[in-house]
Amino acid sequence: MTDSSRDVPFKGRDPLYQGTHDDIWWAIYQAPISGVLNGYARIPDGHTIDVDDLEVHGGITYGSGDCTGWIGFDTAHTGDLWNLDELRNRVGIHITPSGQAWNDQERSLRPRVGQRPWERTWTVDALKAEVFLLCDQIVTAVGRAEVQ
């Protein structure tokens, strides 16, 4: 059963992965339509960050401008692909027909040779690494001594 009293980005939904990195809370959730995974990190209480100053793949898409609390980014931009077998087998999540269609369409748009700079093939480990980069930027923005 989901504990909706916890401080999480989405009440009533459990994250697939969560933890802390450099004392910053982070979480990963599945997107409801595309089925891909998205990353979130929590700005510590008492701090506000202009998320336009943060650099993550595709920019911050959960939160805008001056933010407090949870912010995040998605992995469903043009050029983003997931290995759906990894999502099904490693993560154990269901991929809807619309999620399969979205991934198939993105795959069809890829050039036959090479990868364009904005394209990324995601794995759980790559997403965690990007979330940790976001956490590092939050620590820098609020000042390390104030996080602890």
Average pLDDT score over the chain = 86
Residues linked to residue 50 through DSSP beta bridges, in sequence order: 66
The number of beta carbons lying within 10 Å of the beta carbon of residue 82 is 27
pTM of the model: 0.85
Please state, as a whole number, how many other Cβ atoms lie within 10 Å of the Cβ of residue 69.
Answer: 14
**Residue 116: pLDDT band with limits 50, 70, 90:** confident
Residue 2 has pLDDT above 60, yes or no: no
Give the per-residue pLDDT at 31: 87
Mean pLDDT along residues 100-111: 84
**Helices (runs of H) and strands (runs of E) counted in the chain:** 4, 8
For the chain, what percent of residues have pLDDT higher than 90?
43
Phi, psi (5° rounding) for residue 100? -65, -45
Identify which has the larger pLDDT, 112 or 135: 135
Task: Tell me: pLDDT of 110 over 80.
Answer: no
Of 80, 82, 83, the closest CA to residue 116 belongs to 80
3-state SS, residue 125: helix
Distance CA 27, CA 62 (A): 13
